[in-house]
């Protein structure tokens, strides 16, 4: 058996403020650090040896991973950072409060922009301080790879090719990925063969490890380690 553990970062300061975050590089909140510590403790109880460890370019995912590794005495493990595992880019919604946008655009429209498969928000102006081309952490990414906005479909189309090329052939070993709600949703859509309607219902809780157990590269089970904070996987 082998294990793939997917962890959405702990609560960030913009999660706490109920803002669309996307590619903006915000830190964990105090609650988020507690969630990451709890995630580390739950993973430690599994007594697994991780051969490959991945995270995105964003500090909230990296900080979550650092806390998990510290709890597990794995600080010296190599970490592979991939921008392809970044959160979905929320276009011109970036930085805005979700409740305020529901009042402005309607509950239905915001739900469509957040949860539909292939409807992206309008593009974020490249002069915005929130645009990733204006952040030095993305300086090594070709400009034509940096989005102005994304749907979940767009996110899927960068996450899954990366997974197939760099991670899928390592599934015989134990793998840990610290990423984001929508990059993990994209992975779940692929791994569990979810259709475009079902994926809109999948919620990924912050800081709660999702463990997938494989036998002969086939998923045999999947569950959240913290059952008190689990979401309905709509899978098993």
Q: Tens digit of pLDDT per residue, the chain (236 long)? A: 999 999 999 999 999 999 999 999 999 999 999 999 999 999 999 999 999 999 999 999 999 999 999 999 998 899 999 999 999 999 999 999 999 999 999 999 999 999 899 999 999 999 999 999 999 999 999 999 999 999 999 999 999 999 999 999 999 899 999 999 999 999 999 999 999 989 988 989 999 999 999 998 899 999 999 988 877 776 65
Kindly name the residue from 3, 87, 89, 180 that is annotated as catalytic: 87
- Domains in the chain, please, with CATH? 2-18+28-90+150-229 (3.40.50.1240)
The answer to whether the CB of 23 falls within 8 A of the CB of 136 is no
The answer to whether the CB of 149 falls within 8 A of the CB of 91 is yes
Distance of CA 95 to the CA centre of its chain: 18
- Is 9 in the active site? yes
Q: What angle do CA 145, 148, 150 make, to 5 degrees?
A: 85
- Is 215 in the active site? no
Kindly name the residue from 9, 89, 131, 180 that is annotated as catalytic: 9
Three-state SS at 178: strand
């Amino acid at each position: 058996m082998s294990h793939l553990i997917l962890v959405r970062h702990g609560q960030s300061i913009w999660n706490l403020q109920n803002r669309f975050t996307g590619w903006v590089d915000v830190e964990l909140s105090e609650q988020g650090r507690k969630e990451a510590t709890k995630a580390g403790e739950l993973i430690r109880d599994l007594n697994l040896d991780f051969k490959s460890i991945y995270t995105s370019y964003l500090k909230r995912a990296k900080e979550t991973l650092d806390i998990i590794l510290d709890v597990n005495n794995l600080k010296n493990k190599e970490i592979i950072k991939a921008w392809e595992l970044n959160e979905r880019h929320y276009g011109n919604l970036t930085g805005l409060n979700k409740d305020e946008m529901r009042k402005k655009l309607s509950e239905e429209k915001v739900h469509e922009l957040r949860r539909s498969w292939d409807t992206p928000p309008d593009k974020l102006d490249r002069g915005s301080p929130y645009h990733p081309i204006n952040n030095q952490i993305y300086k090594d990414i070709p400009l034509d790879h940096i989005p102005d906005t994304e749907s979940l479909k767009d996110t899927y189309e960068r996450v899954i090719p990366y997974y197939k090329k760099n991670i899928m052939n390592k599934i015989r070993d134990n793998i840990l990925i610290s990423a984001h709600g929508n990059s993990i949703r994209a992975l779940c859509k692929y791994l569990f063969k979810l259709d475009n309607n079902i994926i809109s219902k999948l919620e990924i809780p912050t800081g709660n490890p999702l463990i997938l157990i494989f036998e002969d590269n086939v998923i045999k089970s999947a569950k959240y380690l913290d059952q008190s904070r689990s979401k309905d996987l709509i899978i098993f």
